[in-house]
Chain A
Amino acid sequence: MEFEPKILGIACNWCTYTGADLAGTTRLQYPQNLRVVRVMCSSRINPSFIFRAFQLGADGVLVGGCHPGDCHYNTGNLYARRRLAVTRKILEFAGIEPGRFRVEWISASEGNKFAEVVREFTEQVKNLGPQTKFKIK
């Protein structure tokens, strides 16, 4: 049986989540491996969410936020950018494949981009195989 990765999506309410809605209403096809959690802003994402997601069995984590400059709260995603960059480095140094964690800026009008990113990311995680390092046995 082909490996179907579990992917956690954390999407900002104002852009990416709305973008995902748009992808849905325009009936764009994208893989079902993504489970989306909505947060009010990408800067609300506590890096521990991501560590915990990997521990609880996520094979990949995709974070979506507004394009820098478009944040509903003006500067939220600019903080998030720095913070998540560090998260990425930490995961990498701890030995998690960097391909399992991705941050994308997707606006509310970019339903296409959302579907495309999910397709691409799912494929990438699929190639990496199951994430076993952090996962609690």
Chain B
Amino acid sequence: MLKKTAIQKISDLAAELLAKGTLIAPVKESAGFNFREISDSGQVDFSFYNTLMSPKSAFFPQTEDFVRYDKNKSVLDAQCVDLNLKPIFLFGVRPCDVKSFEIMDIHFSGTGAVDPYWKKRREATTIFGYAFDLKTPADSADFYSTLNIGAADPEGSDIFMMKKGDGLLLKAITPKGENLLSSLGSLTEASADEIKYFDDTVAAGRSFKTRFTCVDDKVIAKKLEDLFHKTEFWEKISDACLSCGACTFVCPTCYCFDICDETLFAAGVRRRVWDSCMFTDFTMEASGHNPRTKVYQRLRQKICHKYSFHIRKYGVISCVGCGRCTRSCPVNIDIFSIVDQALKE
């Protein structure tokens, strides 16, 4: 099912979605675009290239409350925080970010214990993917095509959108998307021309080039494993790294978190908060032992985790080439350049 609307009328579509549930869409902020919960349909802005922070926060918010407790009361009185979710519409997600949800699914709900928060949020959400504009060249930091992600891949989205002139085409990909799309009154049926345009663009997106050429993930994984103990190499590439957490916080596939108890007077909440493997105290044990005290050890952990350990454990690279880490790095460290250098070592 392919439908269409005009870009100017996007607020009508937003208003309709808003009436059905929670709408999370890109909003222009002082530092750039970000996914935010929309309160006013006029806020949705489609003039973005990609957002500053990744859309993972829709399923894995930076803080998630687990339990409310009172220190003066018994543990039996602790209240587990419930998630009451309305249907969520995650609007305008780029194909590489859509791919990141699949990767995170493996970790949070596909293997081992199931993370109930991720699962529940994920189930409540309809994803509106949004193709990159193939007429403008990719940002110099992006490398999603290196990881075999097309600029207009609809896989993973429930509804996939793309621009055509000043119109917006929407195609239902899953039954969930199909149901939703057919219930939206502000859309009109697309023509045969537009159906062809949609399919052509998806195909063209597959050959849309970002920097670097394709690589074999098994080769990278093996190479990084072999390089693990070559301290000299890691020291060299981490010379510039400040070991701040900017790259991990903006990353769509970074999932590390900390569980904190935050108490004010007696009342408190146990919550999870994003953490970063780049922080010194990330692996600090209560005994005082810390296996990763040096910057190179932490950067090595980050790179190897994404491009080696994750492949060994889950079979996929934990990176989608969205380029956010590179764009937000204060010292211009580029993760894939490091992998590239490693392959040449």
In the complex, A touching B (Cβ < 8 A):
yes
- Residues of chain A touching chain B, judged by Cβ–Cβ distance below 8 Å, are 56, 136
Please indicate the chain A residues that have their CB under 8 angstroms from the CB of B265 in the complex. 56
Q: Is the interface of A mostly helix, strand, loop or mixed?
A: loop
CB within 8 Å of A: which residues of B? 264-265
A110 to B265, CA, bound (A): 34
Taken together as a complex, chains A and B put the C-alpha atoms of A56 and B265 apart, in Å, by: 8
Q: Which residues of chain B have C-beta atoms less than 8 A from A56's C-beta?
A: 264-265
Q: How far apart are the CA atoms of A56 and B266 in the complex, in Å? A: 12
Question: With A and B bound together, what is the CA distance between A136 and B265 in angstroms?
Answer: 11
Closest to B264 in A: A136
Residue of B nearest to A55 (CB): B264
In the bound complex, how far is the Cα of B264 from the Cα of A8, in angstroms? 17
Q: Which residues of B contact A136 (CB under 8 A)?
A: 264
State the CA gap A95–B265 with chains docked (Å). Answer: 25
CA distance A136 to B264 in the complex (A): 9
Minimal beta-carbon separation of B61 from chain A (angstroms): 20
Task: Name 3 A/B residue pairs within 8 A (Cβ), A-sorted.
Answer: A56-B264, A56-B265, A136-B264
The docked-state distance in angstroms from the alpha carbon of A56 to that of B263 is 11
Report the bound CA distance from A27 to B265 in whole Å. 33
In the complex the two chains form, what is the Cα distance from A106 to B264 in whole Å? 33
B326: min CB distance to chain A, Å: 34
Chain A nearest CB from B8 CB (Å) reads: 40
Closest to B265 in A: A56
Closest chain B residue, CB of each to CB of A136: B264
Give A62 to B91 CA distance when docked, in angstroms: 52
| Nearest CB in chain A: distance from B133 CB, A | 43
Q: Which residues of A contact B264 (CB under 8 A)?
A: 56, 136
Look across to chain B and name the residue whose beta carbon is closest to the beta carbon of A137. B264
Across the A-B interface, the 3 shortest Cβ-Cβ residue pairs: A136-B264, A56-B264, A56-B265
Min Cβ gap B104→A in Å is: 32
- Per the bound structure, the CA–CA distance linking A118 and B164 in Å amounts to 71
Question: Could you tell me the distance in whole angstroms from the C-beta of B308 to the nearest C-beta in chain A?
Answer: 41
In the bound assembly, the distance between CA atoms of A122 and B264 in angstroms comes to 25
CB distance from A74 to the nearest CB of B (A): 36
- The answer for the CA separation of A56 and B264 in the assembled complex, in Å, is 8
